[in-house]
Amino acid sequence: MGSGKSSAGKALAKESEQYFLDTDAMIESAEGKSIERIFKDDGEAYFRRCEEETVQWLRSSVKNAIISTGGGMLVHCKGLKEVGKIVYLRVPFKTILERMDASELEKRPLFKDLKTAEQMHEKRDCVYEEKADLIIDAQGTLEETVAKLRAYIT
């Protein structure tokens, strides 16, 4: 969450002439409401089922695309390795908070309690490290992160 996945993914897709897909945006479109609203109306378990359905669709329908997943998708969904290479954009929690303004934090249901969000970030870091094909330090500028990604895919 807040690592710059969408921004870096869009920039890389544009310069590499690949499609860019954002799984959170796909779920919002399919459900006709924001992630925040899905959490409020239907709960986290329902959202995780939506993520799992999205992974299944990606596995069977998408090739040669850059995909930004929701922060919990790698933790909660099976089969992402079958979709493609997994790149972890590592950013310390403090940096994530510095990057997001109040309105951005408000849109993220799991950031309602910052202490809990930080603990979740630490737990997920271990999972991401284990499952990633590549770990990129994404603390720098967007351009620096995209350059690191570009070097990986070329």
Identify which of 9, 24, 19 has the alpha carbon closest to the alpha carbon of residue 107: 24
Integer Cα distance of 20 and 114 in angstroms: 30
Structure confidence by residue, pLDDT tens digits, 53-110 = 999 999 999 999 999 998 889 999 989 999 999 999 999 999 988 888 777 777 777 7
Is the pTM value of this prediction over 0.75?
A: yes
Work out the burial of residue 41: count CB atoms within 10 Å of its CB; fewer than 13 is exposed, 13-18 middle, 19 or more buried. Answer: exposed
Residue with tokens 């695309």: 65
Ordered by start, the domain boundaries in the chain are 5-146
Structure confidence by residue, pLDDT tens digits, 58-74 = 999 999 999 999 888 99
User: Between 1.20.1250.20, 3.40.50.300, 2.60.120.380, 3.40.50.150, what CATH number should domain 5-146 receive?
Assistant: 3.40.50.300
CB 22 within 8 A of CB 68: yes
Residue with tokens 């094909």: 133
